[in-house]
Structure 1
Amino acid sequence: MSRKVTIRDVANEAKVSIATVSRVLNNKCAVRPKTRNTILQAVEKLGYKYENRVTEIPEPGMTVPEEGTAQLFYHKVMEESNIIIVNIPTMSNPFYSKIIDGIHASAEMHSLSVVFTSIDINEKNVDAFIRLTDHLKAIGLIVLNSFSYSTLSILTSHLPVVQCCEYYDNPSASYVGINDYTATETAINYLLSMGRKKISLVNGPLEFRYAQNRLAAYQSVMDSANIEVPASWIIQLPELNHDLAFTSIVQVLSSPNPPDCFFAVSDSLAAAAIKAAQYCNLRVPSDILVIGFDNTEISQLATPSITTIKQPRYQLGYLACELLVEKIADPHSEIKRVKLPTELIIRESTTSERISME
């Protein structure tokens, strides 16, 4: 039985990107006549077939095979656009900078334009957001924000969606992220291996799944080590705010039973922990150990430099866009669930030696 011809085969035959093939087959934009003809000839040569097809009337000046040798088919779609939307919680968090760079790199390779929005999408405004995507004639959406499963299902019924960092196992949306639970286990177990037991968690908003998973992992490891965790050791912040974290950590360090370690869910919060320790006349790392998360520039610029969990941020963004391009090109392509590896980078906030595992 012969293998089914895919849109990737057509792209390889025509020596163009999958997105370019999709734009021609969807009759969605102005593609150079020479490129268009090359793609159509590849379609004919390979016998590529796809669903939801209607006969297309050739445009003026367009060269097509002689009648009877092939038929040209195109998806029924809205007018052309090369715009994808990226929904991001905030542009001010340095964590997202490398992810944005990765998205831009992939989008540029596929001749896509990127529009960023920090709209908090929920059941009340999802219809308005969909109208926005229609107004922009967007052909796909990458979401880094947190919202409900039902909201995600509504979005995926309207246009191709890929989840990045924050994700559900949704049958209609691929995702790329990390294993927050395993990464947290690595960090807490490292602190335990250093002989410390009084470990505090500085966590982000629980509306985000990363915060839920990191809290669950922290509690599980501490429970397995038979360590009782006072409520004050779990610092639950309403937002990733350095000043708010500093104030909260100073309060915990001034309590009758202060911790001697902090695991913070971002490097910015870890920097706040170091500042709070110094404010309380404690030394890092001799008195207090600190681990951050993300391996942003802050982790290297802080004094002392911060031990942190490295996320492959650029790769997360790049792969998210690649998965979206694949879904745009072939709406019936399989849903992919990708978790990229993390790494514990050891720096001065947990050891007096100037070493790094990078």
Structure 2
Amino acid sequence: MSSKRVTISDIAQKLNISASTVSRALKNHPALKKETIKAVQDLANKLNYQPNLLALSLRQKKTNTIGVIIPEITSHFFSSIITGIQDVLVNSGYNIIICQSNESYKEELAIVENLLRIRVDGVLVSPSSRTKKFNHFSKLKQSGVPIVVFDRDCPNLEVDKVLVDDYDGAFQAIDYLIKSGCKKIAHLSGPKNLSTTNHRLQGYLDALKKNNLPVKEEYIVHASGFTHEEGIQPTKTLLRLKNPPDAIFAINDCIAISAMYIAKKLDFKIPEDISIIGFDDEPHTRYFKPALSTVWQPVYSIGMLSARILLSHLKNPDNTPKLRKEIFKPELVIRHSSIKI
């Protein structure tokens, strides 16, 4: 049997006072007697009164809700970013709605429409790997909803951004592989339209050129996504070449782990026959045999800074500060899957 939700009017009727007095007593209004405030709050607690946040948001023209759009939620990378966001917002008075696009542009469009419909106060977003146009994000901005893009860039979209220097991370990895003696370095890249893919690919290419090594098209293979399964076939393509590479730089750790798995199945010794380096520094990669060399990113800090920038807009809605583009520096972490210098 369902019970009726207790309202301010119910409390007012029981205490024989006005609803406006109850409302002020619940807010500890200084003009009211302490006895009145205590009587109202005691009865509210006894009846398990909960304020109507929907009605409150309509009066205040804000919902105290922030939407967070991410491509997926199962990886350590995005879960750590969410933790950083949560830790900043936990005492801010804002609630979080976490939305997963599943790397789908179509789902991302629907999410943005829903967030606009429920009138979120702000949005934090990392776009899907299928997103090539950003009109839906522009629509958020035009509707007065501040937006911060993190991890994956949206070129030419004029919003605040918190990114990582993917180019530098890739350059560090390739430069290290060359200095360790590798001459035939392949790149397991990601979906072609993503900023992270393009920046890491450019870092790979420039490191080869700087060290006077030729760029071989057959050594650049694009995976369709970032999961273990999506790294299997591209690795087979590379390792079954007539002249297979002696090193692989992967777009992320999941793809790198797939490369290690296939290399072992095809009787390549790691790192004696082939060095492998990933990107992200997922916690479990250090426990593989051999432990995976990778590029570390400050994912928790990405989440925290993104949330802080958004909060600064929400707390000062009439202030229009210069847009921020914050770029974190990654660090190369050498373990046992790559030859030591």
Whether TM exceeds 0.5 here: the answer is yes
Contact 1:175 1:338 in 2 (8 A): yes
Per the alignment, residue 46 of structure 1 pairs with none
CA–CA distance in structure 2, aligned partners of residues 184 and 203 of structure 1: 11
Larger Rg: 2
CA–CA distance in structure 1, aligned partners of residues 26 and 306 of structure 2: 28
1:142 counterpart (108, 124, 140): 124
The reply to whether residue 242 of structure 1 matches residue 256 of structure 2 is: no
CA–CA distance in structure 1, aligned partners of residues 25 and 186 of structure 2: 57
Instruction: Return closer, same or farther for 1:268/1:31 CA change in 2, 3 Å cut-off.
Output: farther
Letter in 1 for 2:273: D
Per the alignment, residue 73 of structure 2 pairs with 91
Question: Unaligned regions of 5+ residues in structure 1, if any?
Answer: 1-29, 38-75, 354-358
1:219 counterpart (205, 213, 216): 205
Helix, strand or coil: the match of 1:223? helix
Per the alignment, residue 339 of structure 1 pairs with 327
Question: Unaligned regions of 5+ residues in structure 2, if any?
Answer: 1-23, 31-57
Instruction: Return closer, same or farther for 1:333/1:33 CA change in 2, 3 Å cut-off.
Output: farther
Helix, strand or coil: the match of 2:291? coil
Per the alignment, residue 152 of structure 1 pairs with 137
Per the alignment, residue 257 of structure 1 pairs with 243
Letter in 2 for 1:330: N
Instruction: Return closer, same or farther for 1:319/1:277 CA change in 2, 3 Å cut-off.
Output: same
The reply to whether residue 304 of structure 1 matches residue 326 of structure 2 is: no
Q: Please list the CA deviations of residues 75-102 of structure 1 after superposition, one character each: whole Å capped at 9, or x if unmatched.
A: x996331211111111233321211111
Cα distance, 1:153 vs structure 2: 2.4
Per the alignment, residue 320 of structure 1 pairs with 306
The reply to whether residue 205 of structure 1 matches residue 187 of structure 2 is: no
CA–CA distance in structure 2, aligned partners of residues 244 and 130 of structure 1: 27
Helix, strand or coil: the match of 2:87? helix
Contact 1:235 1:248 in 2 (8 A): yes
Instruction: Return closer, same or farther for 1:91/1:344 CA change in 2, 3 Å cut-off.
Output: same
CA–CA distance in structure 1, aligned partners of residues 137 and 25 of structure 2: 32
Contact 1:78 1:137 in 2 (8 A): no
Instruction: Return closer, same or farther for 1:156/1:207 CA change in 2, 3 Å cut-off.
Output: same
Cα distance, 1:334 vs structure 2: 2.7
Contact 1:268 1:298 in 2 (8 A): no
Cα distance, 1:141 vs structure 2: 0.2
Cα distance, 1:226 vs structure 2: 2.9
Cα distance, 1:123 vs structure 2: 9.2
Instruction: Return closer, same or farther for 1:31/1:340 CA change in 2, 3 Å cut-off.
Output: farther
Contact 1:203 1:235 in 2 (8 A): yes
Per the alignment, residue 10 of structure 2 pairs with none
Contact 2:169 2:295 in 1 (8 A): yes
Contact 2:188 2:234 in 1 (8 A): no
Cα distance, 1:216 vs structure 2: 1.6
Helix, strand or coil: the match of 1:109? coil
Q: Structure 1 length as normaliser, TM-score? A: 0.72
Contact 2:190 2:251 in 1 (8 A): yes
CA–CA distance in structure 2, aligned partners of residues 130 and 268 of structure 1: 28
Helix, strand or coil: the match of 1:294? coil
Cα distance, 1:316 vs structure 2: 0.4
Cα distance, 1:352 vs structure 2: 6.5
Per the alignment, residue 41 of structure 2 pairs with none
Letter in 2 for 1:345: V
- Which structure has more helix as a fraction of its residues? 2
Cα distance, 1:144 vs structure 2: 0.9
CA–CA distance in structure 2, aligned partners of residues 173 and 33 of structure 1: 37
Q: Structure 2 length as normaliser, TM-score? A: 0.76
Measured on the aligned residues, the alpha-carbon RMSD in Å equals 2.8
CA–CA distance in structure 2, aligned partners of residues 31 and 209 of structure 1: 53
Q: Please list the CA deviations of residues 235-256 of structure 1 after superposition, one character each: whole Å capped at 9, or x if unmatched.
A: 1011112123123212321211
Contact 2:168 2:329 in 1 (8 A): no
Per the alignment, residue 132 of structure 1 pairs with 114
Contact 1:160 1:327 in 2 (8 A): yes
Query: Equivalent residues in 2 for 1:151-170 (5 A)?
Result: 151-158=136-143, 159-168=145-154
CA–CA distance in structure 1, aligned partners of residues 25 and 106 of structure 2: 38
Contact 2:228 2:255 in 1 (8 A): yes
Contact 1:267 1:298 in 2 (8 A): no
Contact 1:156 1:172 in 2 (8 A): no
Contact 2:116 2:140 in 1 (8 A): no
Contact 1:326 1:333 in 2 (8 A): no
Letter in 1 for 2:138: S
Cα distance, 1:149 vs structure 2: 4.2
2:274 counterpart (275, 278, 288): 288
CA–CA distance in structure 2, aligned partners of residues 145 and 243 of structure 1: 21
CA–CA distance in structure 2, aligned partners of residues 123 and 281 of structure 1: 41
2:164 counterpart (175, 178, 195): 178
Instruction: Return closer, same or farther for 1:135/1:244 CA change in 2, 3 Å cut-off.
Output: closer
Letter in 2 for 1:316: I
